[in-house]
Amino acid sequence: MNQACGIVSVAKMTTERHAAEYNMKHKQRGMALIFNHEHFDVPTLKSRAGTNVDCDNLTRVLKQLDFEVTVYKDCRYKDILRTVEYAASQNHKDNDCILVAILSHGVMGYIYAKDTQYKLDSIWSCFTADRCPTLAGKPKLFFIQACQGKSLGDGITMLRTDHIETDGESATNYRIPNHADFLFAYSTIPGFYAWRNRLQGNWFVQALCAELATNGKRLDILTLLTYVCQRVAIDVESNNLDIPECNQKTQIPCIMTMLTRVLRFSDK
């Protein structure tokens, strides 16, 4: 324990130093926290019709992957922070990983709680290795369904052509960065809008749930998320004839990873 800072500087090794894959053979998969926001106190924010469909689908597929899922509805920021701080304080030694999903409105650099906007790092920083040592060396996954701006993706039409041009110390102790083993999957890239169907839910969450349901125990997470990006980028576009500037628009998710090994949700 670092007495000066009140943080932990030593944690138990859960995966051998040069192991290619994360150890996913603990007793439990781990917690999955879903913060589902439909209604807001902020006057400028509309209700998010369709988000409950996303939440239900995500809950279902995460339970299929053996997560212990808890849903939090329309929380204020202080309640979100209190919830994640409590989760980080728990003993995760028997868990493979942790997952946090946030379904809400957002702007560049911020996500909305029911009452105010906040930066995501105020949430994920609770789970760094020094602050949550029983998750040190384990995957910490964040799925963020929120706009990151107001820009609309026009896309470009791809034309098919027939001519294509192509140009032994695993048991020793080791140190890891406090910010290692995080993964962030955003519904869209910085500065851009994230599309939502009022009946079927958000494009990103629809694709994520479809891939997790079909390939969640077969593919590693980065390959799976690549196919999520493919589904969103290629298979859907906006259809709004009443507002031409919002018609035939596209979207691409954004994946940021600090994972240090291959992650697969193997059978329990």
What percent of the chain lies above the pLDDT cut of 90?
A: 62
pLDDT score for 234: 84
pLDDT score for 241: 41
Torsion of CA 23, 25, 31, 34, to 10 degrees: 70
Specify the CATH number of the domain 31-153+176-257.
3.40.50.1460
Sorting pLDDT into bands at 50, 70 and 90, what band is 171?
Answer: very low
Candidates 227, 201, 260; CA nearest to 51 is 201
Q: Check 105, 126, 132, 209 and give the catalytic one.
A: 105
pLDDT score for 159: 41
209 among known catalytic residues: no
pLDDT digits (tens, 9 = 90+) for 146-165: 876 444 434 443 344 443 33
User: What's the CA angle centered on 208, arms 113 and 112, to 5 degrees?
Assistant: 10
132 among known catalytic residues: no
Q: What is the pTM of this model?
A: 0.83
pLDDT digits (tens, 9 = 90+) for 231-252: 988 876 545 545 445 444 668 8
Q: Check 75, 97, 132, 147 and give the catalytic one.
A: 147
Rg of the Cα atoms in the chain: 20
pLDDT digits (tens, 9 = 90+) for 23-76: 999 999 999 999 999 999 999 999 998 899 999 999 999 999 999 999 999 999
> Domain residues of the chain, as ranges?
31-153+176-257
Residue 126 has pLDDT above 60, yes or no: yes
